[in-house]
Structure 1
Amino acid sequence: MADIHVEEFYKDVAIALVQLYGSFPRRVNVFVEDIAGPDEPDEFGLHSKRHMACFSALLWLQEEGLLRYVDTIRQDALDQAVLTQKAFVRLSSPTLEHQALPRESVEREALPDSVQKDLSTHIHRIRQALKSGHSGRISEAVQTAFFEDTPG
């Protein structure tokens, strides 16, 4: 069983990537509260550890070359964020498990090619994992999208 902060990290990353993919190529503000939930700073104006962990996950995505942004809005959001070409291409590409499925599969054969392609992408897998709410599926989908070997 993974540490809870690592599971939250994968969920935060997944939500942020889905938000940015959904608005690509437009630049948008990515608010920590939209990802981690509401936060009430303490009497000193400091955010909770959960809020700061989410904010740090967003900064990490930039450091790893998966998104760009113009500035931060305090510790509440990224201003004018957009996926990098590297992240967009990876999220749009088919997963290795879908590439390995035979084209003659009955379920796949019944669907139009464009739908088959959409259903085989990393972004679709991440969305499905988020929809399930299962932390193991979420972390596996993010890991597969960015840490598995690419074909080629």
Structure 2
Amino acid sequence: MADIHVEEFYKDVAVALVQLYGAFPRRINLFVEDISGPDQPDEFGLHSKRHMACFGALLWLSEEGLLRYVDTIRQEALDQVVLTRAAFVRLSSTAPRALVDQLAPASSDADLPPSVLQDRSTRINLLRAAIRSGRSSQIALAVQSAFFSEG
């Protein structure tokens, strides 16, 4: 990908969704710095473009119906955040086998019980694997598969 802001968007979305899924159904505070890294506001108290892009990504997730929150905490966090039903169901669903093989190949799947294999092929686990890989292309593919494609 050539557009760094889009790569950062996908990473921010993936990290936020993994955090929210891990806490589901509890409501949590979602801090921008926990997702995009530390930020030092300038002498006027304005956050960096990177920080504001992450904050914008979180607001966008809400506008698109993937999360709900009670309020913002200035521009540092969303207060009392939880995944929507649609996001939870989508993240819990099984991804297409070809995508699982591409994003989370396992060397010894034959020895695993079917329930473990099914769990490893959920969209949330693909997001986790993509984040662990650190590769922007894998993170983008996992996020796109989770929310921007029909399959």
| Percent of pairs with identical residues | 69
CA distance, structure 2, for counterparts of residue 73 and residue 2 of structure 1: 32
SS at match of 1:15: helix
For the 8 Å contact 2:31–2:76, the answer to whether it is kept is yes
Aligned residue number for residue 18 of structure 2: 18
Aligned residue number for residue 92 of structure 1: 92
1:96-145 Cα shifts (integer Å, max 9, x gaps): 226998xxxx9544211221111010000010000000000000000011
SS at match of 1:72: strand
Give the residue type in structure 1 aligned to 2:67.
L
Q: TM-score, normalised by structure 2?
A: 0.91
For the 8 Å contact 1:98–1:120, the answer to whether it is kept is no
Q: Which runs of 5+ in 2 are unaligned?
A: 102-106
Number of residue-to-residue matches in the alignment: 146
SS at match of 2:79: strand
Q: Which segments of structure 1 move beyond 4 Å, counting only runs of 4 or more?
A: 98-101, 106-109
SS at match of 1:30: strand
CA distance, structure 1, for counterparts of residue 121 and residue 29 of structure 2: 28
CA distance, structure 2, for counterparts of residue 97 and residue 109 of structure 1: 15
- Counterparts of 1:1-152 in structure 2 under 5 Å? 1-97=1-97, 107-150=108-151
For the 8 Å contact 2:100–2:126, the answer to whether it is kept is no
CA distance, structure 2, for counterparts of residue 42 and residue 100 of structure 1: 43
CA distance, structure 1, for counterparts of residue 39 and residue 100 of structure 2: 43
CA distance, structure 1, for counterparts of residue 100 and residue 125 of structure 2: 17
CA distance, structure 1, for counterparts of residue 115 and residue 143 of structure 2: 23
Aligned residue number for residue 104 of structure 2: none
- The alignment's C-alpha RMSD in Å is 1.8
Q: Which runs of 5+ in 1 are unaligned?
A: none
1:57-114 Cα shifts (integer Å, max 9, x gaps): 000000000000000000000000000000000000000226998xxxx954421122
Q: TM-score, normalised by structure 1?
A: 0.91
SS at match of 2:9: helix
Give the residue type in structure 2 aligned to 1:113.
P
For the 8 Å contact 1:14–1:126, the answer to whether it is kept is yes
